[in-house]
Structure 1
Amino acid sequence: MQMGVMGMLKIKKVLNNNALIAEHPTYEEVILLGKGIGFNKKAGESISNADAEKLFVLKNPEEQEQYLQMLKEIDENFIGIMNDAISFIEDKLGTSLNEHIHTSLTDHLHFALKRLKNGVEIKNPFRFEIELAYPREYAVAEELTEWLEKELSVNIPEDEVGFITLHIHSAISKASIANLTKRTQIVSQLIAIAENSLKVTLDRSDINYSRFIRHLHFSLDRIESGKYVDNAEFLKDVLQKECALCYSIAWKMIKYMQKQLKKKIPEAESVYLTLHLQRLYNIARAGTAEVC
C-alpha cells in the first residue's frame, strides 16, 4: 500500500533497523519499511507514517507470520535490498504489486542465492515457455537480475529469471505461484504432446510458436473462468476432414487439459488448436505457414 494521509502511529514492535510493526487506526497492524526507520526506536513510541518509504498490510495471518519469521532469519541488508527491488519492479511496470511479493520473492531469492553460493545449479525447464507467456514481466525480471547482480556481487543464471517472472506475474494477477507453476507445466506437456504426435521439433524462435504458447495460456484462462464467447464450431467439420492429423492431436491435448483441470472443454477449442497445430506442422515440414 502506498503512503496515505499523514498521521502518527504507535510502534508495536521493532523488527530490525529497516522495518517495524505499528498500530494503525484502520488496518490494526501495519509494517513500515525504510532505511534506518527502526534504528534506536522502541515499542510504545510514536512515529509518523511519513518517515516510512513504504507501508503495507499483510491481511492473511499465515502470510504475516511467514514475513515476521523471515525477518528474523534473513540479514536486514538483504531485506532492504529486496524492498528496493520490489520498488524497482513497480516503477518499471507502473503499477502497485500485491503485497505478498514482499514475502514470496524475498524468501525465494534468499534461498536461491544460498543454493548458488553452495554450488547448487538452478534449473528451470520451463523458462522459455514462461518468457513467451509473460514477455513484459520477463523483461523486467531480466533488468532486475542485472541490478541484483551489481548490488549483491553475484552471478544469477538465466533460468532464475523465469522463476522471478512468475513471482512478478503472481503479484500482478493475484494468482498463486503454485497455480502459475502448474499452468506452466501443463503448457509444457501440451507442447510435448504436439511434438511427439507430429514427430517434429517446433521452432522456439518462430513467431507462430509464440502465438501458440499464448493461445494455450488464453485457453487455460477461458477454461478456468468458464467464459467462452467465441463459437468456431462451423469450421469443425472442414478441419476434421482437411486437417485430420492435427484435429486428432488437438483432441488429445483437450483430453489432457480436461484431466488436469477437471473441467469440460467446449468443442470449439478443438478448432483453434487445430489451426495452430496445422500452421506449426506445415512450417516444420515444408517451411510454409499456409493452413491445410
Structure 2
Amino acid sequence: MLIYKKLNNNAIISKDENHKEIVVMGKGIAFKKDIYDEVDEELITGIYALKSKNQQSKLQQLASEIPYEFFAIASDITMNAKKILESELDEGLLLHLADHLHYSYEKDKKGIKTPNLMLNEIKQFYKKEFEIGIAAIGLVNRRLGTRLGEDEAGFIAFHIVSCESTSGTIDANDLLIKMQKIIKAFEKYLHVTLDKESYEYSRFIIHLKFFMTKMITSTSRNDKSLSDDSLYQMLVEKYKNINECLDKISAITLLDFNYELTDTDRMYLIIHLARLVNK
C-alpha cells in the first residue's frame, strides 16, 4: 500500500485493489514519509472508504483536522449500533460522530456543557438509540478521560436516528415529501437557494429529519417556554428574518400536520439555518 497524499502524520490517502481512494489512519503512519512511500501496515488502525464522493471528500477533510482516535471510537459506536438495531446505517454516520465527538471533547476540556433540549423526546421515541448513546458515552469517557453525560448520549442517539435507513413507523417516502415541502418553504420565505452539496446543508438535514419525525409522531407537546432563556432570546433577536420565516413554517405545519413549532424547535432550526444561510 502506497501513500498518495499525506493528510497529517496520522492519516494518508491511499488506493485499494480497485484503485479507489481510501483514507488510512494510524498513529505516526505518515511521520517522516513521502509521497509513494510504502505504508507500515503494522501502524494501521483504520481504513475508511465512503461511496458518496461528497462524503469521501468530507472524510478526507475531517481526517486532516481530527485525531484518528475519534474515528476509531466513532467506528466502534457505529458497529455497535448496527448490531443492536440489526439494520444498516447511512455511511455518513462515521463522519457525523467523529466530528461531534471531537467537538464535545474540546468543549469538555473547557468546562462547557450544552444542555440537550430534546433529551426527553429522544428517550421517549428512540429508546434503543439512547441506550446505544449511553454505552457510547461510557466508551468515550474511558478512552478520552472526558466526563460526558446523558445530554451527550442524547446527541449521539440523535445522529444514529438520523442515519437509520428506515424511520421505524414513519413511511420513508411520506417523510421525504414533507421534508421537501418544508425546505422549499424555507427557500421561498428566506429568498435563498440552499446549497444542497454543502456540509452545512447535510448537518441541517440531520436536524430537519429529526424534527419532522418528532412532528409526525407527536400527539402532545409539553416543551417548556424559552421566553426567559438568554440564548434563545439572543438568537431570535439576531436572526429576525429566520424567526419570521419560522412563523410561516409553523403556520404550514399547523395546517398540514396539526403541529405548531415549539420554542425548542425554533431554537435549533434558527441555529442550523443561520449556519446554512450565512456560511
Task: Say how many residue pairs are matched.
Answer: 201
Query: How much has 1:38 moved relative to structure 2?
Result: 4.3
Contact 2:45 2:72 in 1 (8 A): no
Distance 1:195 1:78, change over 3 A: closer
Say yes or no: does 1:141 pair with 2:167: no
Query: How much has 1:16 moved relative to structure 2?
Result: 4.0
2:204 to 174, 178, 193: 178
Say yes or no: does 1:14 pair with 2:6: yes
Distance in 2 of aligned mates of 1:260 and 1:181: 16
Please list the CA deviations of residues 35-61 of structure 1 after superposition, one character each: whole Å capped at 9, or x if unmatched.
Answer: 565456542245598985543323444
Query: How much has 1:18 moved relative to structure 2?
Result: 4.3
Residue 181 of structure 1 aligns to which amino acid in structure 2? Answer: H
Distance in 1 of aligned mates of 2:29 and 2:144: 22
Query: How much has 1:68 moved relative to structure 2?
Result: 2.5
Please list the CA deviations of residues 190-241 of structure 1 after superposition, one character each: whole Å capped at 9, or x if unmatched.
Answer: 8998458xxxx9xxxxxxxxxxxxxxxxxxxxxxxxxxxxxxxxxxxxxxxx
Residue 13 of structure 1 aligns to which amino acid in structure 2? Answer: K
Name 1:123's counterpart in structure 2. Answer: 115
Residue 163 of structure 2 aligns to which amino acid in structure 1? Answer: A
Distance in 2 of aligned mates of 1:132 and 1:67: 32
Distance in 2 of aligned mates of 1:192 and 1:83: 32
Name 1:99's counterpart in structure 2. Answer: 91
Give the match's secondary structure for 2:4: strand
TM-score, normalising length from structure 2?
0.55
Give the match's secondary structure for 1:22: strand
Distance 1:79 1:185, change over 3 A: closer
Give the match's secondary structure for 2:111: coil
Distance in 1 of aligned mates of 2:4 and 2:116: 41
Name 1:161's counterpart in structure 2. Answer: 153
Distance 1:86 1:10, change over 3 A: same
Name 1:260's counterpart in structure 2. Answer: 253
Q: Which has the larger radius of gyration?
A: 1
Distance 1:257 1:69, change over 3 A: same
Residue 252 of structure 2 aligns to which amino acid in structure 1? Answer: K
Query: How much has 1:143 moved relative to structure 2?
Result: 0.5
Distance in 1 of aligned mates of 2:86 and 2:40: 26
Residue correspondence of structure 1 range 195-210 to structure 2 within 5 A:
none
Distance in 2 of aligned mates of 1:53 and 1:103: 17
2:106 to 104, 114, 125: 114
Name 1:72's counterpart in structure 2. Answer: 64
Distance in 1 of aligned mates of 2:77 and 2:15: 26
Contact 1:21 1:32 in 2 (8 A): yes
Name 1:150's counterpart in structure 2. Answer: 142
TM-score, normalising length from structure 1?
0.53
Distance 1:162 1:54, change over 3 A: same
Structure 1: stretches of 5+ with no match in the other structure: 1-8, 202-255, 271-292
User: In terms of mean alpha carbon deviation, does 152-161 or 88-97 score higher?
Assistant: 88-97
Distance in 2 of aligned mates of 1:179 and 1:260: 17
Distance 1:138 1:195, change over 3 A: closer
Distance in 1 of aligned mates of 2:82 and 2:219: 37
Query: How much has 1:155 moved relative to structure 2?
Result: 1.0
Query: How much has 1:259 moved relative to structure 2?
Result: 1.9
Please list the CA deviations of residues 160-207 of structure 1 after superposition, one character each: whole Å capped at 9, or x if unmatched.
Answer: 1111012122333288653452354456678998458xxxx9xxxxxx
Residue 125 of structure 1 aligns to which amino acid in structure 2? Answer: L
Q: Tell me the percent identity.
A: 27
